[in-house]
Every structure is written in C-alpha cells, then in structure tokens.
Chains A and B, each alone.
Chain A
C-alpha cells in the first residue's frame, strides 16, 4: 500500500495540518509520499521532505499553480494517482474544494472528514453535526480521503530529508481564474491550531465589544473564534466561525462567551480538552458540554477575568 498526501501551504509555509496527515497515514502504511503544488514553493517541499515518515516529495512548481484552484490541482493529482492506494488531504476549505472533484475524475467515492482509522478500508466520520459517528467501509480500490486534522496528532520529528523531485505537468485550466484574496490578517495564533481559543457569540452585541475578548486572547496567546450569529451580524469576519459549517477546533482550552451552544456550534468545539462557558442564562445548552460553567453577565465577567489572569501572571 502506498499513500499520497497533498500538502496545504501558501507557497512560503507548510500549513501545520499537513503534518497531521502524516501521522494518520502512518497507521495504514509506511510508504508515504507527498505532493506539493504551487509556485516558487521549493522551500515548502524541502521542509516537508524533512518531516519524519515522508519517503518522497513530488513538486509541481509553476506560475499557473500559485493559487490552489480545484480545476488546476485535481487533474494534476489525477495524473499521478495510479500508483497510490490512498490519497489524503485535510478537511479544510483547501481539501474540501478539490478532493471531491478529484474523486469524480477517478470515479471513486470520497470519504469526508474522517476522525478515526480502523483499518486500511474502514474509517469513522462524524455526521449530523457530530451527533452520530458513522463507521464506513470503502469498496473502492483507491481511497480518496479528507481528514479532520484536529483528530490526529501532528508529526513534529524530523529526518534526513527525503528527495524532492520536480514533476513536469502542465496545468491547462481555462475554466477558472484567481482574482483576489481578502485575508483577515491576525497576529494571533491560527484558530484551528491554537492551544487556547476564546469565542464570542451574539451575546457580545457588537463588533466593538469583541475587544473585550481580544485583551484576554492577548494574555493567553489565544485565537479568537465566533458563533455563526456573531459572524452573520458582522461582528467578526467569516473565517472566525466555529461549527458544523465553519472551522473545527480542539484546543486545550475553549472559552465560549455569550454563546448559547446550538448543536451546529458544538459540532465545531466539543472535542476541546477543557471547555469554559460564560453565559447569563443558566439553562443555556452550552453548559451541558462545559467543564466549568459561569452564570454571569459577560460585561462584568470579562473585565474581571482579564484582571484575575493579570494577577495570576504577575503573582
């Protein structure tokens, strides 16, 4: 068995989710190769080649591949798919976008967002917003898989770099063109890999009030997340959304502030190690998953929390 993992990166840095793919793949086979598609991304390929467990890195480096358009990347992967039994990508917007297209080109079903590997053909994946776990066995000879990065530990050990080999595949995408990316710049850690996440909901009432969370995020080196209601109301950008249809997070500490705890929100955070909920409604469903629940008005609790953490840090 031979596995191909598809690297997610921005041409400069490897997205850490890629290293979770390696540890997951290792439970199936040691024959793990990787593909990097991008532009001027040699350093990404080299970084990946030195992560423990990678046997070889294939590199497609051309200006047409600067942005990971599905119409570009799916045919490239298809053209080298033959020799692999499993092709794996992260269940991020990068992987979710092109992998099903690839699967269709190969006439293979995709197994989405797996959280457990039972064997080389049997996987567990959450359905119904994580309220049920489906164990599925694939009958396809080739397995096309997207994998939930937070469910598998990242590989951090390094090795003597594996070879990086350039592939000369010319992309012929005339269907779609990249126009622009409006990045939400943040100095904070990335939401899906942060050790601490503090999220706000409709209870925050305004974009301005998110500053109350920012100060605590600074103290704890936390990422900031949000409920759909907070995003819909325009308090924060779309990429803050945690949940069934947003980002899945599983930090050491998740603090939910002014969030009721709808199943769609819980789907994105209930695998966090420690959950704190601050809500003025003692019956809010968020308390059912919280390890520590504080019934309080957030406008009083947040300044007090900031002060208490400050005192803790200086004591």
Chain B
C-alpha cells in the first residue's frame, strides 16, 4: 500500500513566542522552527508500517513556502521515499490545505493518509477531518494505536471518555495522537541520503484549488497575565489561606 503523510512547519514547541507589537501576528523571523510534533508521529507511524512490510512507499507533503523543504528533508531522512511541496507564499487555512491535499491524493492515489491531529501553532485540529470529508473517506482521529488488516484499519482513539476502537474501511485518513509512537531521530547517514531523494515543488495554482482565506485575522493579543501569587511556608498555612482567604475549601 501507498501512504501519504502531511507535515507542517511550525514554531518549535519549546520556544516562547513573541507577539508583534502591532498585533498583526506572531514574530516568526529568527524564531526556531520545527516539524509539528504530531506530524513527526505521523511520519514515524508510516515508517514503522513500511518496516513491518505493510507499506511499499511513503510520500510526504507540505503546503507552504520554500522553508518547508527543510521539514520535508527531515521527513525523508526519517524514512519517507519522496516529497512534494505545494508552494504558496501565503499561509493557508485548514480548509485550503485540505483541498490541496485532496488534489494530491487524487493524483497519487494513496491507500492511507496520515496527518497530525493538531498543529501546535494554530491549534486548529481540522485538516485531517476536512480532508476525509472532501474525499468521502473514513476518518480515524486522535489515534493512539493503528492496526492494518486486509482492506481495513483498526484504530484506537483517545477520546474524552477513554479509549474508543473503530474499524475503518480503507482508503482512510488517520490523525495521530501523542501516544501512537515515539518518533526516532534521524541518523546522520540517512540525513545525507535524504538529500538525494526526490522532492518536487508544485505551485499551488497548478492544483486549481480554491484557496481564498475565509477568515480575516483582526488582531493577535497576549492573554491577561494572572495576578502575582504568593508563597506559603507550610501545608497548615496553605489550608488556612484556601479556607479563609480564597474560600475554596
């Protein structure tokens, strides 16, 4: 089977972001960028399926500007076979990204598409579900265990009430949760080899998708800081304050 994996380039999870003074956005210049952590898990899962002999090829795709090539090369170093960058200078919203991915799916005809459940910059949690809807495919979101059997995917999903198991008919779209696997690091020889693997750039116009922004970002602001708290010196003092001052116990 063929697997497609969508990866997004985002501000590194451990970087404290800076909001631009004019409230127009988050400062990205000179900010450490990385592959979205959920996408790393998506790549890892695909590589494991290939290593287990369940998949023949892994195609990674990203929608964004040229800098995303770095993220794609990283995925190639981790074990993907080929990469496509859908080139756009404007960051796209999830519906438009899903439309780009749909166009690539129709070209490449994968049996399984794996995405992260959420990008940690926009915290949208939309693209995978939208892609599944556009394609009319089954979806398995927030997946912490994936098993492929003939023509079916059995997924365990992390839901609010516990763990839910579903059986999906392939082709299907999967979105990853944190506990699906623990991503590996790329070994140096593989980083070198990745430079030789094919990376194709497709200008977004070529896909003929409607990618207009449906939302206007009016302003980005910092949340109200919490008022400064106090240190207590003992459990007795803590309980007394919670009782008499905060009145919560």
Residue numbers of A with Cβ under 8 A of B are: 10, 67, 69-71, 74, 92-94, 96-105, 107-113, 122, 125-140, 174-184, 192, 196, 220, 228, 231-232, 237-239, 244-245, 247, 252-253, 263-264, 270, 273-276, 287, 289-296, 301, 304-305, 308-309, 312
Contacts and interface: CB of A to CB of B under 8 A. Distances in A.
B236 interface: yes
Nearest to A128: B17
Contact of B235 (A178, A289, A305): A305
B114 interface: no
Interface of B: 11, 13, 16-17, 19, 26, 93-95, 98, 117-118, 120-134, 136-142, 144, 154, 157-169, 172, 177-179, 213-223, 226, 229-236, 238-239, 241-243, 246, 248-249
A293 B232 contact: yes
Contact of A176 (B127, B139, B142): B139
Contacts of B179: 231-232, 238
Contacts of B213: 139
A253 B125 contact: no
Given A276-B238, A292-B238, A134 B220 contact: yes
Nearest to B123: A127
Given A289-B229, A294-B238, 4 more contacts: A109-B94, A182-B164, A305-B235, A308-B238
B226 A129 contact: no
A176 B236 CA distance: 55
A228 B129 CA distance: 24
- Dominant secondary structure of chain B at its interface with chain A: mixed
A179 B235 contact: no
A110 B123 CA distance: 12
Nearest to B163: A182
B238 A305 contact: yes
8 contacts: A104-B133, A127-B123, A182-B162, A232-B178, A239-B161, A253-B242, A287-B229, A308-B235
Contact of A291 (B13, B128, B229): B229
- Dominant secondary structure of chain A at its interface with chain B: mixed
Contact of B133 (A105, A109, A192, A296): A105
B166 A112 contact: no
Contact of A274 (B123, B134, B219, B242): B242
A144 B120 CA distance: 21
B223 to A, nearest CB: 6
A132 B17 contact: yes
A256 to B, nearest CB: 12
Contact of B178 (A228, A301, A312): A228
B218 A100 contact: no
B139 A129 contact: no
Nearest to A136: B215
Nearest to B171: A175
A91 B218 CA distance: 22
Contacts of B229: 275, 287, 289-293
A100 B133 contact: yes
Contacts of A252: 248
Interface centre among B93, B128, B213, B232 (most CB of A within 10 A): B232
A195 B176 CA distance: 31
B166 A176 contact: yes
Contact of B218 (A92, A122, A247, A291): A122
A274 B17 contact: no
A99 B125 CA distance: 10
Contacts of B128: 100
A102 B230 CA distance: 47
